[in-house]
Amino acid sequence: MTIKIIEGEKFAHMLIEGANNLSNNAKIIDALNVFPVPDGDTGTNLNLTITSGVKEVKGQSTEHVGKVAGAFAKGLLMGARGNSGVILSQLFRGFSKSVEGKETINAKDLSKAFEFGVEMAYKAVMKPVEGTILTVAKDSAKKAVTFAKKK
């Protein structure tokens, strides 16, 4: 079985479609937001943050995965809203550092980038709390690594 390669344009498309999906479900995420603080704005904050990241991606060339990831991470950081937005920006800061020199990536590169993003996000939070976006990211990265090893 071959490992599929993701090119910059495809990666940019994935980010944009992910942002669209988040935007379409922001109110549902707001309603789920009860821990650790039931402020009901996580979906809104994530949507505002990711919209800023996508705007930065759309202003860049999309031929190089590392450059797309770097632009996305920069946009997330500049537009981060609330704790969830800051954590999301740190997840992708680590992700982008992991792939910055790569024109294309495969499943193993992608899973390692997820892991590096999780490490960076945990380091950025003074007192990480399990059961938050950090846990979701950590568990997702573990699953991605397991999947990539099978390819």
Q: When comparing pLDDT for 43 and 113, which is higher?
A: 113
Angle 66-19-134 from CA coordinates, rounded to 5°: 75
For residue 11, pLDDT beyond 80: yes
Q: Residue 21's pLDDT is what? A: 96
For residue 1, pLDDT beyond 50: no
DSSP string over 98-148: HHTT-SEE-HHHHHHHHHHHHHHHHHHSSS--TTSHHHHHHHHHHHHHHHH
Could you report the per-residue pLDDT of 118-143, keeping only the tens digit for each?
A: 999 999 999 888 888 899 999 999 99
DSSP code at position 80: -
Banded pLDDT at 105 (limits 50, 70, 90): very high
The amino acid at 34: V
pTM: 0.90
